Amino acid sequence: MVIVTNEEKSESIKSLQSTIRKLESALSQMTQSGANTALVQKRLRAVGIGLAVLENLWHQKPHSYTPDELNEAREALVGLTPSVENSYAKSKAGSPQKTLLTRRLKALELAVQAMDDLSAK
């Protein structure tokens, strides 16, 4: 794993927590409107697992995810990355949205890398 500053760790944890809140809100709205929620549920679970893996790595908080669950979450996070990159490309330079998306991309990258490191053990 690459060296990550304490500030990057904190921003990544906060970013994933924010992403979870955003996905929970989307899930609630979609459930109320009767829309298909399978993708949002999958992404919500994956981001939650990603957060747990980073907290395990950086704060020694235990997690109980199996290698299969980690692999499934990793694939979902990799699949989520292009949509975040699209939003990033469309956002204005220096905007708060661009900053948020920069942190989200970094957090996703670190979570995927941490899952790769775990599966290599």
pLDDT for position 67 = 93
Is 34 a member of any domain?
A: yes
DSSP string covering 103-120: HHHHHHHHHHHHHHHHHH
Between 22 and 119, residue with greater pLDDT? 22
Query: CA neighbours within 13 Å on the CB side: how many for 106?
Result: 19
Is 14 a member of any domain?
A: yes
Is 69 a member of any domain?
A: yes
DSSP 8-state secondary structure symbol assigned to residue 91:
S
Is 1 a member of any domain?
A: no
pLDDT per residue over 79-102, tens digit each?
A: 999 999 999 999 999 999 999 999
**Number of domains present in the structure of the chain:** 1
Is 99 a member of any domain?
A: yes
Domain that holds residue 92: 6-120
